[in-house]
Amino acid sequence: MSCNRPLTLCELTSEAWSGDSASDTSTRGRLTVSCVQLQRRDRFPVRVSATVAVDDRDPVPCVMLNISQDGCRIETDQTLPIGSMVIIHEPRLGTLRGTVRWSLLGSSGCRFSD
C-alpha cells in the first residue's frame, strides 16, 4: 500500500488579552490556526525482527512493520514516549536513528534523523 497524498495537520490556539487602558474592562481574544503539510512517502510493508534503544537505554526487541525513506513503524512490548530519540538496529538495514512521532498501544511511528 502506498500513499503520496499530503497530510495536513492543524492546531487551533486561543489567546486572551485585555483592553489597552486601565479603564477598559472588556476582554478580547485572538484565535490562531497553525497548519503544517506533511508529504507521506511510499511505505513498504515488512515484518522483520529488530531492536530499539530509547534515549540511550538498553535495546529491547521490536518488530518493524513498515518502512519508508523517512521513517518506519515498529511494535514493542512497551510504550515509546513521543519525542524520544531511538536507535533501531536490524542486521540487513544497519543502525537507524530517529525520533518517535506517535505511539499507540505498543505501536510507534519513528521519523529517521537526517
Domain ranges of the chain: 6-39, 44-112
pLDDT tens digits, one per residue of 8-43: 656 666 776 655 555 555 556 777 776 655 556 788
**The CATH number of domain 44-112, selected from 2.40.10.220, 3.90.1170.50, 1.10.260.40, 3.40.640.10:** 2.40.10.220
What average pLDDT is seen over the chain? 82
Give the integer Cα–Cα distance in Å for 78 and 46.
20
Between residues 35 and 94, the one the model is more confident about: 94
1-40: string of b/e by CB count within 10 Å (b at 16+)?
eeeeeeeeeeeeeeeeeeeeeeeeeeeeeeeeeeeeeeee
Residue 87 has pLDDT above 50, yes or no: yes
- Out of 12-21, 73-82, 103-112, least confident range: 12-21
Between residues 81 and 39, the one the model is more confident about: 81
Per-residue model confidence (pLDDT) at position 111: 96
Per-residue confidence at 1, pLDDT binned at 50, 70, 90? very low
Residue 71 has pLDDT above 60, yes or no: yes
Q: What percent of the chain has pLDDT over 70?
A: 69
